[in-house]
């Protein structure tokens, strides 16, 4: 062989070609492996990556972050948004009641929620799932539950309609499984997510017995014209690809004393929201006087979302 | 084995002849791809405004009832004593179909002397702005619920410094007093679930089977 004859020769033609081939192949393979990154729909800016956990942010840092986010929203959506961070109300304990006897399954809450919380329109993300279940004597035929019944099948007297959303458990399994503590329960009972801290492992989605958490598989898309400019840092600011999100009882509204969007849009008044620690509130009256139950009580999650079985 | 031998020895190096161009092509393809594909995000479809705008069952309906408060137009000149047993008026109000269960007399609700008002228990009138007082006569329990906020919808502030920040809907915003069974037929379409969780639906029996 030539190689054996002249060991000190610099570089022969064959080795050069072979080397080039290997280099090219490596480059090609490497590039192919990395290509998803280059085509990634969203790469977080460095500041976002370096940002601290929400609970460790000082007010000044928050201010800077909010200003940065607002600027970014103006650039991407052309909307001057205001990001606020309402803190839990003192001694408030939010709860929700939903009267199944009255719900007609019109699903307006679902879309009001999408609008209010800037949920991705494409791919569609919805926090509320409305189950349609056949009435069976005095009970419910759970086997017949469907959540994607067509529009024309709403308002059927032979069915119950049961909207399911985040139950804001007092003992939330999703919080327990989060490996990075990106989700936690606030003092007023709302379970929130720091979208910047979430690593998108989806453990919480698996842990939630109510299937209430949603994952951004793709970059969430919201038309700028429809963006709700009244944003809360922990609730409806634009999310990123690869993070979890879920219902927060519209905390940017409820913590400032307003009703959640799903309640306001409900044409039947099946939805009731309020502060459990206020003895005169609607919610307190319902929980005191009506037949209420919670979903999957046996799991010990202690939801703050009550279902009422009354007219 | 044979191939690698051919690649490393022999005059005609077929292996390399194939590999080098293949790699080159791959590389060029990759470069072209990454440069050329600027995936312009498809513009998301906006939601239909009627899907999320709050409406009550009779919202628009009520606005068409221009006659409310102007019954004097005809009834001021009413001469003959009205018949208290009328269930279905003949000429003027033939559009009204009373479907209120046992409550099937016009004058259960409308004041006989003054059509602009509703009948109270003591024979006096209830103005239209207090129409819930009329319903309260017979639906006391529900009226109590309504006052407490558990029947009907409220909009605005749940935490109320002043009552003005809360919008409470009257009974007639949702119930037609003449045919009060709740009717609301503005439904919205089902969700379009992302493909990742499509499997769950495939496991369930197809909806077409169920309806049959």
Domains: count for chain B: 1
A119: nearest Cα among A49, A257, A218: A218
pLDDT in the model for residue A280: 85
SS3 (DSSP) at A110 = helix
Q: What is the pLDDT along chain A (311 residues), one digit of tens a residue?
A: 455 555 556 778 888 888 889 998 888 888 888 776 666 666 677 788 788 899 899 999 999 999 999 998 998 888 899 999 999 988 889 999 999 988 999 999 999 999 999 998 888 889 999 999 988 877 777 778 888 888 888 888 888 999 999 999 999 999 999 999 999 999 999 999 999 999 999 999 999 999 999 998 888 888 888 899 999 999 999 998 889 999 999 999 999 989 999 999 999 989 999 999 888 888 998 998 888 989 989 999 999 999 998 76
CB proximity A151 to B under 8 Å: yes
Q: What are the average pLDDT values for consecutive 10-residue runs of chain B, which has 212 residues?
A: 44 73 81 57 73 80 60 66 63 78 84 83 84 90 89 84 74 87 86 63 48 38
B/e letters for B169-208, b = 16+ CB within 10 Å, e = fewer, are: bbbbbbbbbeebeeebebbbebbebbeeeeeeeeeeeeee
Identify all chain B residues contacting A259, using CB atoms and an 8 Å cutoff.
154-158
Note whether residue B117 is domain-resident: yes
pLDDT in the model for residue B161: 61
- Chains A and B form CB pairs within 8 A to the count of 189
Using CB atoms and an 8 Å cut-off, which of residues 1-40 of chain A contact chain B?
A: 1, 14, 17-18, 20-21, 24-25, 27-28, 31-32, 35, 38-39
CB proximity B101 to A under 8 Å: no
CB proximity A117 to B under 8 Å: no
Note whether residue B4 is domain-resident: no
pLDDT in the model for residue B212: 35
pLDDT in the model for residue B163: 63
Would you state the CATH architecture of domain A1-311? Answer: 2-Layer Sandwich (3.30)
Using CB atoms and an 8 Å cut-off, which of residues 179-208 of chain B contact chain A?
A: 182, 184-194, 196, 201, 204, 207
Which of B160, B190, B196 is closest, CB to CB, to A148? B190
* pTM of the model as a whole: 0.82
Compute how many other C-beta atoms are within 10 angstroms of the C-beta atom of residue B9: 9
Shortest distance, CA B173 to any CA of chain A (angstroms)? 10
Note whether residue B1 is domain-resident: no
pLDDT in the model for residue A305: 93
Q: How far is residue A261's CA from residue A253's CA, in Å, rounded to a whole number?
A: 8
Note whether residue B150 is domain-resident: yes
Domain holding B55, by residue range, is 49-174
CB contact under 8 A, B52 and A111: yes
pLDDT tens digits, B116-175: 888 888 888 888 888 888 999 999 999 998 988 888 888 888 887 666 777 788 888 888
Backbone angles phi, psi at B42, to 5 degrees: -65, 135
∠ at Cα B54 (B50, B59), nearest 5°? Answer: 95
pLDDT in the model for residue B1: 41
CB proximity B78 to A under 8 Å: no
* Domain extents in chain A: 1-311
Measure CA B111 to chain center.
35
Note whether residue B141 is domain-resident: yes
Identify all chain A residues contacting B27, using CB atoms and an 8 Å cutoff.
24, 27-28, 31
Note whether residue B12 is domain-resident: no
∠ at Cα A140 (A151, B174), nearest 5°? Answer: 50
């Amino acid at each position: 062989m030539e190689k054996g004859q002249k060991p000190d020769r610099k570089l022969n033609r064959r080795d050069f070609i072979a080397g080039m081939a290997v280099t090219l192949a490596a480059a090609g393979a490497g590039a192919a492996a990395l290509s998803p990154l280059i085509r990634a729909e969203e790469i977080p800016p460095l500041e976002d990556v370096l940002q601290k956990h929400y609970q460790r942010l000082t007010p000044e840092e928050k201010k800077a972050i909010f200003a940065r986010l607002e600027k970014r929203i103006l650039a991407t959506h052309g909307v001057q948004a205001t990001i606020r961070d309402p803190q839990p109300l003192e001694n408030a304990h939010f709860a929700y009641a939903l009267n199944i006897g009255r719900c007609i399954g019109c699903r307006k809450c679902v879309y009001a929620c999408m609008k209010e919380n800037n949920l991705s329109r494409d791919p569609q993300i919805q926090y509320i799932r409305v189950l349609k279940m056949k009435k069976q004597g005095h009970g419910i035929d759970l086997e017949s539950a469907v959540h994607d019944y067509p529009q024309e099948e709403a308002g059927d007297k032979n069915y119950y309609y049961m909207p399911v959303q985040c139950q804001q458990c007092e003992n939330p399994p999703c919080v327990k499984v989060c490996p990075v503590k990106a989700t936690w329960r606030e003092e007023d009972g709302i379970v929130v997510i720091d979208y910047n801290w979430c690593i998108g492992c989806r453990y919480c989605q698996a842990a939630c017995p109510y299937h209430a958490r949603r994952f951004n598989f793709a970059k969430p898309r919201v038309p700028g014209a429809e963006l709700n400019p009244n944003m809360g840092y922990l609730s409806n600011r634009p999310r990123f690809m690869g993070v979890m999100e879920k219902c927060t009882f519209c905390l940017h509204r409820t913590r400032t004393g307003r009703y959640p969007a799903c309640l306001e849009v409900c044409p039947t008044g099946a939805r009731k929201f309020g502060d459990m620690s206020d003895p005169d509130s609607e919610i307190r009256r319902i929980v005191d006087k009506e037949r209420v139950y919670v979903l999957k009580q046996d799991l010990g999650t202690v939801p703050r979302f009550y279902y009422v079985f009354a007219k | 084995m044979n191939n690698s031998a051919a690649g490393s020895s022999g005059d005609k190096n077929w292996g390399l002849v194939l590999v080098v161009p293949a790699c080159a092509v791959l590389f060029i393809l990759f470069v072209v791809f990454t440069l050329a594909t600027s995936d312009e995000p498809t513009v998301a479809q906006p939601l239909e405004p009627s899907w999320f705008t709050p409406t009550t069952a009779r919202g628009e309906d009520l606005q068409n009832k221009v006659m409310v408060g102007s019954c004097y137009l005809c009834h001021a000149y009413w001469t003959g004593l009205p018949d208290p047993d009328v269930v279905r008026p003949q000429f003027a109000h033939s559009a009204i179909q009373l479907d209120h269960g046992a409550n099937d007399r016009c004058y259960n609700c409308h004041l006989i002397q003054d059509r602009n008002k509703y009948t109270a228990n003591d024979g006096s009138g209830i103005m239209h702005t207090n129409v819930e007082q009329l319903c309260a006569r017979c639906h006391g329990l529900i009226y109590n619920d309504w006052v407490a906020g558990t029947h009907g919808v409220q909009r605005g502030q749940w935490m109320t410094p002043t009552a003005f920040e809360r919008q409470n809907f009257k009974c007639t915003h949702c119930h037609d007093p003449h045919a009060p069974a709740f009717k609301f037929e503005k439904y919205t379409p089902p969700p379009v679930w992302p493909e990742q969780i499509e499997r769950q639906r495939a496991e369930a029996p197809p909806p077409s089977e169920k309806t049959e």
